Amino acid sequence: MTELEQQVALERDLYLHLLQVQGATSLVEPMRGVLARLVELTRAERAYLELYDDATAGDRRWSLSHGCSSSEEEHIRAVTSRGIVAAAIASGQTVHTPFALLDTRFSSARSVQEQRLEAVLCAPLSGSSPGVLYLEGQRGRGPFSPESVQVAETVARAIGTAVQRAGLHTWRETEDPTLPFRRKLRVDGIAGRSRALAHVFEQVSLAAPLDVSLLITGASGTGKTQLAQAIHDNSRRRGAPFLEINCAAIPEGLIESELFGSLPGAFPGARRTVGKVEAAEGGTLFLDEIAEIPLAAQGKLLQLLQSKQYYALASSRLAKANVRVIAATNADLEQLVTERRFREDLFYRLNVFTLHMPSLAERREDLGCLLEQLLARLADEHGLPGLRASPGFYAACEAMEWPGNVRQLRNRLEGALIRASAEGASFVEPRHLMDRAQPPQEGPLSFHEATRQFQRDLLRRELGSAWQVSEVARRLDLTRSHVYNLIKALGLKRE
């Protein structure tokens, strides 16, 4: 059989499977056959099919793959293809890039760099329910042919029609592992339904009734304050005050008076002040960024935790305190203890019960819930219209990295909502995420100029402020000397 005859036979086989999909009530097995034939016909490495919720295109509800293991499928779904998939959903058009690693639309994604993606083809499904058909080319084979792109788009349209006919676009409520805890806990201020968050709620249900000191760990911006508030709200102290101190925001010389209060004579100009310990009497005192508290104040805090007693500044009278202390940190306290920057006895006294607040990357599936809750809350705070996010906006947010976690997400959403409201838009769209207009490009870049620009941006981003050349060389699979030569050739300087 000639190559042309083989091609015709493959096309015929593919369309026969598509006909089976159109008439099937259960689509899984027929679609497996379609993906297998499509990979063979287009000479792709793997194929992946993903469907999303009508309202939240970033929230996957159904997926199928061919040519990869379950772990590889999860990697494609959660990391590798996300920026490319999001672009296809947001634009409603096929995305075809011959070399994703050099494509400025996707090259900044860490996953694209790690996987060194080359040819990628992503076609949105037709119909009312968002979804994509994703093909990844074989390394070294170059871009997909125009015929392969056309075939993939035809298959995507047919699958979209079949999905709509079968009713897969009307999705059932997915299992919410946080629901059992939400029914018995007051945790409405924390959005999400991931297993990671369910584990946090399980820890809250255990720790809240116990009148012991707690330590909350987690990266900056994850919501440690909200978690501390939830613990207070579910404790026997919920009717009493909940007071917060950010230890990093108070000058070293004032932290003791802020905590314990002061009497006249404590320092020049001092007057009678009520400390947070006294103000939180009967309730909860939340000490955020506990690693930043000076060593001198650590000793007095230890006394408070051990004996429930303290001295106000310039006072000779020992005062009693009925307060629960919850501390939080994004630092490694054990390492600080080793470095003698944090008292070991205080660490053990605080670390009676530890809760970890996961980062946004650890509970990525909560992004849709967070978007909905934060947009509604921000609209209420600013008196703005209660705009919903478009499917493209969800996809755009899903494609972005959020190193600043929920705090960074909130700040970006705040700006997007303000811009959308000022524009009079019906939905918050991906364009509203942009905080400033992009400078106009005077003319098309040559291939050499575009490559040089890509190299400059990539190196600048990877080097960052740490400027660890050896680590950057390892991540980019380059020699250290090559990285140094690139730094010199591209005129990069350490900030």
Half-sphere exposure of 126 (CA within 13 A, CB side): 11
**Cα 270 from Cα 267, distance rounded (Å):** 5
- pLDDT score for 342: 94
pLDDT of residue 234: 96
pLDDT recorded at residue 58: 47
**Per-residue pLDDT, 473:** 77
User: What is the predicted pLDDT for the residue at 232?
Assistant: 96
Are 151 and 7 in contact by the 8 Å Cβ rule? The answer is no
411-448 in b/e form (b: 16+ CB < 10 A) is ebbbebbebbbeeebeebbbebbeeeeeeeeeeeeeee
Query: How are beta strands 214-217 and 353-356 bridged, if at all?
Result: parallel
Beta bridge partners of 30: none
CB 46 within 8 A of CB 67: yes
pLDDT in tens, the chain (495 residues): 677 777 778 788 887 777 777 665 566 677 888 888 898 888 888 888 887 655 444 455 567 788 876 656 665 655 445 566 666 766 677 888 877 666 666 555 555 555 667 788 888 886 655 688 888 888 778 888 888 888 888 888 888 777 766 654 433 334 678 999 999 999 988 999 888 999 999 999 999 999 999 999 999 999 999 999 999 999 999 999 999 999 988 887 788 888 988 887 666 666 778 889 999 999 999 999 999 999 889 999 999 999 999 888 877 788 899 999 999 999 999 999 999 999 999 999 998 899 999 999 888 888 888 998 999 999 999 999 888 888 778 777 876 788 889 999 999 999 999 999 998 888 898 888 875 544 444 455 555 566 667 777 778 888 876 778 777 877 777 777 677 767 776 777 776
- Long-range residue pairs from 487-494, CB within 8 A, at least 24 positions apart, any chain: 487/459, 487/463, 490/452, 490/455, 490/456, 490/459, 492/456, 492/459, 492/460, 492/463, 494/463, 494/467
| CB distance 263 to 313 below 8 Å | yes
Whether the full predicted model's pTM is greater than 0.75, yes or no, is no
Count H helices and E strands in the chain, helices first.
20, 14
Q: Which residues partner with 97 through β-bridges?
A: 120
